[in-house]
Chains A and B, each alone.
Chain A
Amino acid sequence: MPIDIDIAHVARLARIELSDAELAEHGRHCADILEHAAKVQALDTEGIQPTSHPLPLVNAFRDDVVTPGRVLARDVVLDQAPAVEDVYFRVPPALEDE
């Protein structure tokens, strides 16, 4: 069964700006892969619990303790930023407020 993907919507959700040609190619590939992946739907999984994690571990916590040694100096933090103003990261304006 061919899978119909609104690839432009998906690209928008993923914040990737693609040309129409790129969208068309990715849409085709994704549809192919999803069609293959849709095999999973053929399996009877009635009553099967999903495994989102390979480990049977639970309750991995940390104590509420400050670790000053891992805090980064501001110049180190800002050093890798594409744009900085004063002591802040600088970005273009937000259009929306989410």
Chain B
Amino acid sequence: MSARQTIRRAAAAMRDGSLTSVELTRAALKAASMTESQVHAYLTLDTEGALQAAEMADSELGAGDDRGPLHGIPIALKDNMVTKGIETTCSSRILSGYVPPYSATVVERLEEGGAVITGKTNLDEFAMGSSTEHSAFGPTRNPWDTDRVPGGSSGGSAVTVAVGSALGALGSDTGGSVRQPASLTGVVGMKPTYGLVSRYGLIPFASSLDQIGPFTRTVADAVDVLSVIAGHDPHDATSIPGSVPNLDAGLGRGLDGVKVGVVSEMQRDETEPAVRGAVANIIEQMEANGAKVQEVSLPSFEYALSAYYLIAPAEASANLARFDGVRYGNRVDGANVADMMSKTRADGFGAEVIRRILLGTYALSAGHFDAFYGQALKVRSLVRRDLDAAYEDVDVLVGPTSPTTAFELGAKTADPLTMYLTDVFTIPANLSGHPAISVPVGLDEAGLPIGFQVMAPALGEPTLFQVAEAVESIAAFDQEPELAGSLA
């Protein structure tokens, strides 16, 4: 089996003259044309724009104008990041046809870094979901088994990397929306520390939880993507000022002396045996490779999901209020403004989005605020306190990314609550704002990928990547779905 193409390999090959960005981009576009009809990862594939950017990258690199690790690399964007001149829909009918007049900060940074943007990927509408089934434009399917979901909400981005129709992709992670689909599709998915990557131009789901993060095939590639998009943005008041930590400082340093906490609450009975087995196996080998492993209990974890399902919808109910048919997007006419807005929103939003708006509106409304939203914010403090206490003793926390491998389409759509439970292990890091990553470590008996999650304290990215890379090399996971096109 030939070695899989990665960002680092391609970047090196472009610099020693054995590969051009145009060749690499054509390979990605070919992979898209071979797989899209089966997986539907892209909403918009910008073939022309991508090839133009690739030609530009080749001529710049040829002239010695090197823009860094993503120069000439095909990258896909989740369709909730605005792109000037390219339709941006959030997979919602209310925004279908919307062409933004400005680009998100991450998009500008990718462009400045010479990346080749291949297109916009499918998601659960407004990033609300864990399966990429809640898209107004049809679901994305898992390339390992197209009867199954790729996870979500950033399922489209995950799948582009899994099938090679992009070498890297950006997703947004509000409750696990990067890590969970990475886990279900066998790629690396990372959520940075809240505030490390600008949210300007990310159409928000829940502002205090959302964070943009990379999908890649390797941990080192994730470092490269993050290094291009991270850093203070004066247009995002929640962006962390000052310089970005040295992201690759820990790469290649192994596990010797690293203190690893195994979260008791993440070894739950509901977790599939194959997932538990794979995770336990990795932890054992981490210890064999020099890590100091200890069990850690985080009692508030049990309440994190509940708090999340109050906080996120509450923020969303306000964030999505602007979609009213007045200034952009689609409109359904009405006799008066209120009528027009109510019809527009009923028609434009899917059932899951409406459900969360209603939930959030209720949680914030008079008479219920203290019991629901107010209490959830206090639970958030407890989760954070538990995590802070844990990090006094350990460098990282580990466990499964998702309690299950990929489930079948339609399996959880009837009962929203079961769908929400798939995020149970990823949500705590969103509540605390801490970085976390999912690394593929193997397949279950059905041949479906299993993800291993590493979490670190705020701005602990260097250690996070160090441990994730060590896990990656222990697992030596190098399989890819049969569907995947071969990238030259």
Contacts and interface: CB of A to CB of B under 8 A. Distances in A.
Interface of A: 5, 7, 10-18, 26, 29-30, 32-34, 36-43, 45, 48-55, 57, 60-62, 70, 72, 76-77, 79-83, 89, 91-96
A36 B306 CA distance: 7
Given A5-B362, A7-B358, A62-B234, A17 B417 contact: no
Contacts of B335: 92
Nearest to B236: A60
22 contacts: A10-B358, A11-B358, A13-B361, A14-B321, A16-B357, A18-B346, A40-B306, A40-B372, A40-B376, A41-B371, A43-B303, A45-B379, A50-B378, A51-B378, A55-B240, A57-B240, A60-B241, A80-B327, A80-B328, A82-B326, A82-B329, A93-B337
Contacts of A92: 333-337, 339-340
A22 to B, nearest CB: 8
9 tightest Cβ-Cβ pairs between the two chains A and B: A54-B433, A50-B377, A82-B331, A45-B378, A17-B342, A80-B328, A60-B237, A51-B381, A39-B306
A76 to B, nearest CB: 5
A40 B358 contact: no
B382 A95 contact: no
Given A62-B234, A92-B333, A95-B336, 20 more contacts: A5-B362, A7-B358, A17-B342, A18-B346, A26-B358, A29-B416, A33-B355, A37-B309, A38-B371, A39-B306, A40-B372, A40-B375, A43-B303, A50-B374, A55-B238, A60-B241, A89-B326, A89-B327, A92-B340, A95-B338
B384 A51 contact: yes
B98 A40 contact: no
A53 B300 contact: no
A55 B310 contact: no
A96 B237 CA distance: 35
Interface of B: 98-99, 101-102, 194-195, 208-209, 234, 237-241, 300, 302-303, 305-307, 309-310, 317, 321, 324-331, 333-343, 345-346, 349, 351, 354-355, 357-359, 361-363, 365, 371-372, 374-382, 384, 416-417, 420, 431-433
Contact of A10 (B99, B321, B362, B378): B362
A40 B303 contact: yes
Given A15-B341, A30-B355, A37-B310, A43 B326 contact: no
**Which of B209, B374, B377 has its CB near the most chain A CB atoms (within 10 A)?**
B377
Nearest to B308: A37
A34 to B, nearest CB: 7
Contacts of B417: 32-33, 36
Contacts of A42: 303
Contact of A72 (B101, B309, B337, B359): B101
A10 B306 contact: no
B56 to A, nearest CB: 23
Contacts of A81: 326-328
A40 B328 contact: no
B220 to A, nearest CB: 27
B330 to A, nearest CB: 7
Contacts of A72: 101-102
Contacts of B324: 15
B349 A91 contact: no
A29 B194 CA distance: 30
Nearest to B195: A55
Contacts of A50: 374, 377-378, 380-381
Given A30-B355, A57-B238, A91-B337, A37 B382 contact: no
A51 B378 CA distance: 6
Contact of A51 (B305, B334, B380): B380
A16 B354 contact: yes
B238 A53 contact: yes
B379 A40 contact: yes
Contacts of A11: 358
